[in-house]
Every structure is written in structure tokens, then in C-alpha cells.
Structure 1
């Protein structure tokens, strides 16, 4: 998707009503903007993980931190470093990277995501689902009782 957006950036901008004089600004802004979109999506994914476990305070605090950080970094990048509009996108990228670090550190510290100790079980399950053309096989995978393995196979 990003490759297509990058390739068609000028066509998209012109279609949306941009003039050719804005294309220079667009070229400097588009790359950091695409990165900030992906980082923002990753950050909101982390917020969702926290919220799904009832941890609502942490995402709220990280949202405030990233917003304040972006508020501070925007004028520095735009005016002091003279990056103009691209500076705003780079400031957002830095804010989101710091937010991702905080939120995912919290997720792993609180064991909200656990990695299986035995990756073969995961591989076998994924392979069985992917190769199954028969809904009965998929159903049998989901009805298998793995509860006896929960304490020993996850760290």
C-alpha cells in the first residue's frame, strides 16, 4: 500500500486539487507522513491491546505524552531546523516512536502478550488452518483442549 501511495503521490495530490507548485512541498512531506501513518497505526494497536486487558490509564497517559511531545517538537523541527512542513511529519514520527516504546514496553512488562515457548505448536496450528479445505478440520483445531499446556508452554 505504501509503495502505491508513494508511486502515485503526485497523481493523488493533483486529483485532490493541489496545484503543481505544491508538489515540491509534497515530495518533502510525503515520506515522513507515510512513516507517521504506520507508526500511528502501530501505536493505536498497542492502545487496543492495553484496553482489551482493562488497562485504560496507560494508553491515556501515552496519548497525552505523545501529544505534548509533538506540540514541543513541531516548532523546533519546522522553524529552528527549517524543515518546514516535513518537520511537522518528522516531529510526529518521533513522538509516535517514543509512544510505541512506552506502550509496548508496558505490554511486555505486564505480560499482556505472551510468546509461545514451543513455536512448533503454533506452526502446526497455522499450517493445519491454512491447508484445511474442510471446515470439520478447522473446527477440531478450535475444540482441542490445550488448557493443560497453558502454564508450561507460555513465558
Structure 2
């Protein structure tokens, strides 16, 4: 995505310590953008980014299921970079198991991260984007949410 401005874009990306999310953060940093990268372990994120330019990085240890943790991360991002232009909701995990063998606790934990976590991020970021009359939101999810077994 080319951001139509002469200054770096500010991205707020969730679940950034592995996979596609980590690759996105690395790409954005190499491009010179600002990245607020949420993760459960900033130590793991920084180790995984070894060699990437980190001057535009704000690593944030965030529990997406905790609304106050998310709000604090969003506030820290705005304090550091001045705004948030792009949000990428990408945190989540898969749980594969037979319905009758999957505990309610496991289902609730997964739902809490993938649905309520996304909701918490949007609830904190959208007022900032509305005030700026600008912003983009991308939510990445699994195809399994659309398929039945």
C-alpha cells in the first residue's frame, strides 16, 4: 500500500512477533514508516526483527483482551508518532478440534482474542481517525471462519 503523503505513515499492527505480521512490520520499517507493533513479548519481537531498522518502531506489550491495555498502547502510539493512519488487526490463533471435545474455556479464550481483541482496538482507534478525518483499517482473518466442516 502506497501511502499518499510526503511523511511516513503510522501503522498500528497487532500480533506482530511471527509470520505474515512480522513480515509486514519488517517491510514497513524498511520503507521508513512508523510502526506500533503489539505483541505478547516485545523481547521475542525485537529478536525476530534482528537487522531491521528500528528507529520508527514502537514495540508494545499488549493484552488485546484487556481494553485498558489496548487504550494505553493507542495513547502511547499517538504520543510517540502524533497519529495513527493505518490499523492492521491481525492477532489471533487457530484452534482445531472436534466440537464435542473442545472446552468452553478454549472457545471463549479464542473468541476473546479474535473478536473482542479486534473490537477493543477499533473502539480505541476509531475516535482518533474520525477526529483526523482520515485512516484505514484492515482486519485479517482465517478462511476457516467462512467454511463449515
Report the TM-score when normalising by structure 2. 0.26
Q: Which has the larger radius of gyration?
A: 1
Hey, which of these two has a bigger chunk of helix by percent?
A: 1
Report the TM-score when normalising by structure 1. 0.25
